[in-house]
Amino acid sequence: MSLIEIKDLHVNVNGEPILRGINLVIKGGEVHAIMGPNGSGKSTLSYVLAGRDGYEITKGSIAFMGQDIAALPPEARAHLGMFLAFQYPIEVAGITNMTLLKTSYDALRKARGEEAMNSAQFLRLVREKAAALQMNDDMLKRQLNVGFSGGEKKRNEILQMVVLEPRFAILDETDSGLDIDALQIVAEGVNAMRSPERAMLVITHYQRLLDFIRPDYVHVLVAGQLVESGDAALALKLEAEGYAAYQNV
């Protein structure tokens, strides 16, 4: 069964059409990559999937596990198992990484009708996942993204993902800002999450990431439309030739 099904999706931001007829079907177990020039609408697509206010669907539909989610608020989509790793991670002063993780984790459990997890048990779980991403305890105690380097923030998004274990994750340029070693560590974390029930949409500018996270499909987004789709080889071609061929379509 398809996990997510986007049909002829048109989206306006501030009255301007930004997405202009997106069609995309992602099945369980698949990893899709989206590449495209700056301003083509990649982040817009991620926001509209996650349900952010101000992204007006003028036409088309989004279904998640067979359910039309266009009218659901962001938290309801999160409860269904959607996750967005932000292109520009958000800072929350005064709230530690750990508190954010626990609060989110418990919110998702509550939505499933489960009790909050015992703090000590949760701490063990997080430490284990953080260690796999080579993040130490100090990082967990720091205020959410406050004073984090660009790369640390990105790694932190992935920590949230591996702790929350979503059904469907969108990674918006998670690779930008990561050094080569970090990229590999993060990719391993992402790969460890791949499973037949789970799917991912990876937005990137660089083919290199796709050497580590092998996509099943690569799509090219230009001016709010998916202009070409293919397999991993398409990314190599884009890397060599750029987007010139797609301009004026």
Partner 1 sequence: MSEINEAKSSISRETVAHVNRFGGEHYQYGFSSDIEADRIPPGLNEEVVRLISAKKDEPQWLLDWRLDAYERWQTMAEPDWAYVDYPPIDYQSLCYYAAPRSMENAPKTMDEVDPELLRVYKKLGIPLAEQEVLAGVRKVAVDVVFDSVSVGTTFREELATHGIIFCSFSEAVREHPALVRKYLGSVVPKSDNYFAAMNSAVFSDGSFVYIPKGVRCPMELSTYFRINEANTGQFERTLVIADKGSYVSYLEGCTAPMRDENQLHAAVVELVALEEAEIKYSTVQNWYPGDENGKGGIYNFVTKRGDCREARAHISWTQVETGSAITWKYPSCILRGDNSTGEFYSIAISNNRQQVDSGTKMLHLGRNTKSKIISKGVSAGHSSNVYRGQVNMHPKAKGARNFTQCDSLLIGDKCAAHTVPYIESKNKSAIIEHEASSSKISEDQLFFCRQRGLDPEEAVSLIVNGFCREVLQELPMEFAVEAQALLSLSLEGSVG
Ligand X SMILES: Nc1ncnc2c1ncn2[C@@H]1O[C@H](COP(=O)(O)OP(=O)(O)OP(=O)(O)O)[C@@H](O)[C@H]1O
Asked if 65 contacts 3 with a C-beta cutoff of 8 angstroms, the reply is yes
93 makes contact with partner 1 (CB under 8 A): yes
Tokens of 232: 């991993």
User: What six digits make up the tokens of 247?
Assistant: 């301009």
Minimum Å gap between C-beta 190 and partner 1 is 18
Neighbour-count burial of 8, counting CB atoms closer than 10 A to its CB (0-12 exposed, 13-18 middle, 19+ buried):
exposed
CA separation for the pair 77, 83 (Å, rounded)? 8
- For the CB of residue 117, give the shortest distance to ligand X in the complex, in Å: 35
The binder of 40, among partner 1, Mg ion, ligand X, none, by C-beta within 5 to 8 A per type, is ligand X
* Per rule CB under 8 A, count of chain residues that contact partner 1: 41
Contact 205, 40 (CB under 8 A): no
Q: Does 43 bind Mg ion (CB under 5 A)?
A: yes
Q: Which does 95 bind (CB under 5 to 8 A by kind): ligand X, partner 1, Mg ion, none?
A: partner 1
Cα–Cα distance list, 108 to 80, 161, 178, 192, 206 (Å): 9, 13, 29, 21, 33
Under the rule (CB under 6 A), what is the footprint of ligand X? 13-14, 16, 18, 36, 38-44, 87
Binding site for partner 1 (CB under 8 A): 50-53, 73-75, 77-79, 82-84, 86, 90, 92-96, 98-100, 102-104, 106-108, 110-111, 116, 119, 122-123, 137, 141, 143-144, 160, 164
